Chain A
């Protein structure tokens, strides 16, 4: 078996003196969709931020594409081809859609023809963004902002895309649309995706493998289908009765 694209070994992270991650082990292999589910405050977003270097892991190791990125500053981690669509979208509200996408390309190559081609690809994936390209980010609807957030992350041509709760606050129809786009990216372009979700049902159906996080620790792991059928997962995250 080849080495995983992203490997997280025994990572501990703190907010002040509070341990938010209590030694997390996790792997994402090339071409997979891996999802991390868990309740509010379990440490899912913290793990995602720790992979990106804010906060840094106090113990443990994060290896990406054979390179130890644990101690790198955030902007260099992104340059190593990990892109992130952060929690709460965090688009630039007063800048246009086009400018937002330009910012996404800031860490990518400087070749302008790349930018134009990437833009083309993004607009095929999210046609609505093409229509809105000269509109300010803050005037987009929630779903459009989420698409913009993902699109912006894609502009740096990442090998690994980190998505933090893309379904947060979206209507079911839009959730379907976003998840369809994620599947598309994975199947057609072979993009590796690490997805943090509270919407466990959707995420597990989409994912090749999944992890369940409770109080800063991984408690269960397995393929998406296995997890969907595990009674404790069903009870805790899918609202099903035994």
Chain B
């Protein structure tokens, strides 16, 4: 692309002055004046002209440079290149390899990083969010029901496992399905009142639902131990063999030397399998009538009804199945942490999971996995810059929404293809050409 036009200095200057004035307004009081308690207790004001001038100056120059670059066409070019790098279509070609490659990497992580507990823990965390993302993807990505309270089902699963395991002493593998079923039940319970709502209204009610669950958990002291949470949740065992040093433990039975890492590796593979089950079930459901009905519901609810689809049941199953996987993930979370409290189930978690689904490209399985990896991994990467973290998070979101407004993997893969020769008689195709 050629340099588009001659640079318009006057316009650039005007734009920069406006930006500088805006900055002056914004920072004038916040940065320009410092208040301190004086000797007699009254506030004293210290002007900080220099700092303010520096900020305004930087903004003025930055804006000026930006506008000039923009006029020169450089930024356009960069933007266009980014936009045309269509991950979606490229994924279409390499998706066959990207999926297995990612899976192979995921399986190999405990071997590659065996000595590095930090990476193992991070891997478990990422996979938990991959699973949550895939679970929410059923509700938001496939059925198109905007759910801002998904964390509620995560919480139900976690508390269900914690309380069941503590009071009955049943093993993780018995409690897991119960936790999932309970979460699904709550999913249906939420589904009923919101059946007639769509879009923004649905989002508000689900948001409230998430908060209700959290507040109940805080206040129902006798049952949930309130804000103190539940401690001493049974750790998982290797199908009956606890991960302990000594007699009857996993290491002794298999003749290994005891290492606390065994349990971490086991947990890693448990969440990997759970996540893969979520993925597998979603992929299978998409090919069944119910999955196609979800997608049709997302596209056009009125058309669905006019085709004889029971939209009530369709929505409720989406809520229930999505919630069930949230519940599984919650049970896993509880057994991994050994301690849960309402603190872990705040709105921010719902927002994060939803962000993973949206950034990944609604309805795309691999996109969600990549988004979870990038978001959670990125969060960890910037742990040291805790203050700038949310800023970067926001900036990344804005960038993706500008250049890839439909998510990382935007193209929807059809659930069925019609082989060419299978059904169409030759004369029909001929007729079409006429």
Would you call B293 and A75 a contact (CB within 8 A)? no
Q: Does A201 contact B (CB under 8 A)?
A: no
Report which of B303, B308, B418, B424 forms a contact with A92, defined as CB distance below 8 A. B303
Interface string of B287-313 (1 = CB under 8 A from A): 001001101100110111111111100
B306: A residues at CB distance < 8 A: 52, 74, 78, 84, 86, 90, 153
User: Given A92-B300, A93-B299, A123-B428, A78–B307 Cβ distance below 8 Å?
Assistant: yes
The answer to whether A107 and B414 touch (CB under 8 A), given A92-B296, A127-B431, is no
Q: A92-B299, A106-B309, A153-B307 are in contact. List 4 more A-B contacts (CB 8 A).
A: A90-B300, A91-B300, A94-B412, A103-B293
Residue B423 at the A interface, CB < 8 A? yes
Contact (A156, B414) CB under 8 Å given A92-B296, A95-B296, A120-B425: no
Q: Are A95 and B299 in contact (CB under 8 A)?
A: yes
Q: Is the interface of A mostly helix, strand, loop or mixed?
A: helix
B305 (CB) vs chain A CBs: closest residue: A74
Contact (Cβ within 8 A) A103 B416: no
| Docked complex Cα distance between A108 and B418 (Å) | 20
Main secondary structure of the interface of B (DSSP, over half): helix
The complex places the Cα of A164 from the Cα of B26 at a distance, in Å, of: 56
Contact B424 A96 (CB under 8 A): no
CB B267 to nearest CB in A, in angstroms, measures 38
Assess whether B309 is in contact with A75, with CB atoms less than 8 Å apart: yes
> Are B302 and A90 in contact, with the CB atoms below 8 A?
yes
Q: Which residue of B lies closest to A100 (CB)?
A: B296
CA gap between A102 and B424 in the complex, in Å: 16
A128 contacts across to B, CB distance below 8 A: 432
The answer on a CB contact under 8 Å between A127 and B428 is yes
A93-B299, A123-B424 known; A134+B418 contact, CB < 8 A: yes
CB of A102 within 8 A of CB of B432, answer: no
Residues in A36-94 with C-beta less than 8 Å from chain B? 52, 54, 73-79, 83-84, 86, 90-94
A91-B303, A94-B412 known; A79+B429 contact, CB < 8 A? no
Give 12 pairs: A residue, B residue, CB < 8 Å, sorted on A. Answer: A54-B302, A74-B305, A90-B303, A92-B296, A93-B299, A95-B295, A95-B296, A102-B292, A103-B293, A120-B428, A133-B418, A156-B307
> What B residues does A96 contact at CB under 8 A?
414, 416
Assess whether B423 is in contact with A79, with CB atoms less than 8 Å apart: no
B414–A99 contact, CB under 8 A?
yes
CB neighbours (8 Å) of A93 from chain B are 299
How many angstroms from the CA of A74 to the CA of B313 in the assembled complex? 13
Measured in the bound complex, the distance between the Cα atoms of B296 and A119 in whole Å is 19
Instruction: Check A143 for interface membership: any CB of B closer than 8 A.
Output: no
Question: B95 on the interface (CB 8 Å rule)?
Answer: no
B307 and A104 contacting across the interface, CB-CB below 8 Å: yes
Please name all residues of chain A whose beta carbon is closer than 8 Å to the beta carbon of B309 when the two chains form the complex: 75, 103, 106-107
Determine which of A75, A92, A131 lies in contact with B429 in the assembled complex, contact meaning CB atoms within 8 Å: A131
Q: Does B417 contact A (CB under 8 A)?
A: yes
Query: In whole angstroms, how far apart are the Cα atoms of A73 and B418 in the complex?
Result: 33
Q: Is B415 an interface residue (CB 8 A)?
A: yes
Pair A120/B308 contact, Cβ less than 8 Å: no
Whether A124 sits at the interface, judged by CB under 8 Å, is yes
Docked-complex contact A75 and B418, CB < 8 angstroms: no
Question: Which 3 A/B pairs are nearest by Cβ-Cβ distance?
Answer: A107-B308, A78-B308, A127-B432
Total cross-chain contacts (CB, 8 A): 106
Q: Chain B residues near A103 (CB, 8 Å)?
A: 292-293, 296, 304, 307, 309
Across the two chains, which residue of chain A brings its CB closest to B293?
A106
Contact across chains for B423 and A94 when beta carbons are under 8 A apart: no
> At the interface, yes or no: A189 with Cβ under 8 Å from chain B?
no
A residues less than 8 Å from B293 (CB atoms) = 103, 106
* Contact indicator A130/B303 (Cβ below 8 Å): no
The B381-434 residues at the A interface (CB cut-off 8 A) are 412, 414-418, 423-425, 428-429, 431-432
CB <8 Å contact, A130 and B424: yes
Q: Which residues of B contact A229 (CB under 8 A)?
A: none
CA distance A96 to B306 in the complex (A): 19
B305/A124 in contact, CB under 8 A: no
Q: Which chain B residues lie closer than 8 Å to A106 at the CB level?
A: 289, 292-293, 307-309
Which of B296, B303, B428 lies at the interface centre, i.e. has the most chain A CB atoms within 10 A of its CB?
B303
- The verdict on A194 contacting chain B, using a C-beta distance below 8 Å, is no
B137 to chain A, nearest CB (A): 15
B134 to chain A, nearest CB (A): 19
Query: Does A211 touch B at the CB level, under 8 Å?
Result: no
Chain A residues whose C-beta falls within 8 Å of the C-beta of B415 in the assembled complex: 99
Question: Across the interface, which residues of B come within 8 angstroms of A120, CB to CB?
Answer: 423, 425, 428
What's the nearest-Cβ distance from chain A to residue B385, in Å?
Answer: 39
A residues in contact with B425, CB < 8 Å: 120
Question: Does A12 sit within 8 A of B, measured CB to CB?
Answer: no
Of residues 276 through 333 on chain B, the ones whose CB sits less than 8 Å from some CB of chain A are: 289, 292-293, 295-296, 299-300, 302-311
B33 to chain A, nearest CB (A): 54
Residues of A within 8 A of B300 (CB): 90-92
Neighbouring B residues of A102 by C-beta, 8 Å: 292, 416
Q: Pick the most buried of A94, A128, A156: most chain B CB atoms within 10 A of its CB.
A: A94
Query: Which chain B positions have C-beta within 8 A of A111?
Result: none
A90 to B292, CA, bound (A): 16
**Distance A90 CA – B303 CA, assembled complex (angstroms):** 6
Within the complex, what minimum Cβ distance (angstroms) separates A62 from chain B? 16
Task: Using CB atoms, name the residue of chain A closest to B431.
Answer: A127
Answer yes or no: A152 CB below 8 A from chain B CBs.
Answer: yes
